[in-house]
Amino acid sequence: MSIVVNLRYTGVNGNAAKFAQEMEASGTADLIRAEDGNLRYEYYVPMNDPETVLLIDAWKDQEAIDKHHASPMMQTIASLRDKYDLHMTAERYISDDAGFSAHDSSFIRN
């Protein structure tokens, strides 16, 4: 099992992209990737909405997320969100360890 959280950061004047760039340039994103239990931490920009950045954030389990939320990095992230005046939406998914069905797999090109 893993938990994936999709966070959409939305701003104006490119601020969401500036936030993600600062997270990367400051090393904060790499520190999060190095946390025990982090499986994925990646930023994406939707082609139809340049004022939004999608963060795909995956964790081994809820305990790993709780430790991350209790870490000092959360204050860094909150400060940067305030600096760039970002608004957020979140979606949470729990993985299905059974994987893709044979039918679903026919649509996946390896």
What residue ranges do the domains of the chain occupy?
Answer: 3-55+62-84
pLDDT at 100 over 90: no
Q: Name the token pair of 96.
A: 């299905």
Select from 74, 68, 15 the least CA-distant residue to 45: 15
Name residue 90's amino acid: A
Average pLDDT over residues 12-40: 97
DSSP reduced 3-state for 40: strand
Taking a C-beta distance cutoff of 8 angstroms, is the pair 59, 2 a contact?
yes
**31-84 tens-digit pLDDT:** 999 999 999 999 999 999 999 999 999 999 999 999 999 999 999 999 999 999
Q: Name the token pair of 75.
A: 């204050």
The CATH fold of domain 3-55+62-84: Alpha-Beta Plaits (3.30.70)
pTM for this predicted structure: 0.88
Q: Name the token pair of 61.
A: 């389990």
